[in-house]
Amino acid sequence: MFVSRSMTQKVVTVNKDADILEAKELMEQYQIRHVPVVEADGLLIGMITDRDIRSALPSSFYKKDAEATKKAAAPSIQVKEIMSQNLTTLSPMDTIQDALLLIQKTMVGALPVVDKKDKLLGIISVRDLLRAFINVLGFGQPGTLLCILAEEKIGQLKKIVDIITEEKISFGSVLVARYWEEGKRAVFPYLLTNNVVNIKKKLKDAGYTLLDPMEWYMDQLPKTEFKDSK
């Protein structure tokens, strides 16, 4: 769950004296939106984004001679003139959770990862986090999602896990979420199987309610609990 395991390590970077058109070309070539600006020794000094560049260039509305216009109108804007400084950075020992919360808080699309001396080690973007999240949910592998309603008391999850284990079925993931009914929890095991018939029966026999997935809408949850905490 550490940032260093999920970040992109081969980072596309640019020199501060480079023309912004060079940065723009890099973004198009690698399909990225954030390019860290580094010194020759790898020291991070800024970040340039596709939005910074678009703001600095004339509109490309007239597509026909867009390139010519751009080159004429932006003869010598250097990266250092428009890059962001005072960056928020992560350390390789920060966690994925840190990255998620920090990206939510700072409202940026990617954060650079640096060592103690500000040397660039990697970059973690919203895309990297999505990939990590898909991995955590387990649904990159074939399986079936169950939706179980359980009392909010100690030992409920163990019973569910025991029943599933008895059937020799592997877990892709388990999510436990708030339910809108007081004293209840919704448990979502993602099971790596096609065969959940026996498990469903056993869970019902053990007194659990299987939720109709269509009744499960996040927007039916009390809105206040989901308000942004900032």
Partner 1 sequence: MKKTGFLYDDRYLLHDTGPYHPEAPDRLSVIYSGLERSGLLSKLVRLEGSMAEMKWIESVHDKAYIERFKSVCQSGHSSFECEDNQLCYQTYDIARLAVGGILEASRQVMEGALDNAFCAVRPPGHHAEFNRAMGFCYFNNIAVAARYIQSQWGIQRIGIMDFDVHHGNGTQNIFETDPSVFYYSVHEHPSFAFPGTGRAFEKGSAEGTGYTRNYPILPGQGDNEYQSVMNDDFIPLFDQFQPEVLLISAGFDAHSDDDMSGVNLSTEGFSYIMEKLVETANKHAGGRIVSILEGGYSLKRLPELVNNHIELLLKG
Q: Which residues lie near partner 1 (CB under 8 A)?
A: 139, 141-145, 168-170, 192-195, 197-198, 200, 212-214
CB of 1 to partner 1, least distance (A): 23
Q: Which is nearer to partner 1, 106 or 141 (CB)?
A: 141
| CA atoms within 13 Å, Cβ hemisphere of 57 | 26
Rounded to whole angstroms, the Cα distance separating 10 from 167 reads: 43
10 Å CB burial of residue 123 (0-12, 13-18, 19+) is buried
Rounded to whole angstroms, the Cα distance separating 129 from 18 reads: 30
Q: What share of the chain is helix, strand, coil (3-state, %, to 5)?
A: 40, 25, 35
| 99's tokens | 């990255």
Q: Which is nearer to partner 1, 147 or 160 (CB)?
A: 147
- Let me know: does 163 contact 203? Beta carbons within 8 Å: yes
CB of 27 to partner 1, least distance (A): 25
CB of 139 to partner 1, least distance (A): 5
CB of 142 to partner 1, least distance (A): 3
CB of 141 to partner 1, least distance (A): 7
- Cα angle value 44/48/49 (rounded, 5°): 140
Q: Which is nearer to partner 1, 78 or 144 (CB)?
A: 144
Instruction: Look at residue 11 and give its three-state secondary structure.
Output: coil
- Let me know: does 150 contact 157? Beta carbons within 8 Å: yes
CB of 31 to partner 1, least distance (A): 17
Q: Which is nearer to partner 1, 40 or 214 (CB)?
A: 214
Q: Which is nearer to partner 1, 168 or 227 (CB)?
A: 168
Q: Which is nearer to partner 1, 71 or 201 (CB)?
A: 201
Phi, psi (degrees; rounded to nearest 5) at 49: -115, 165
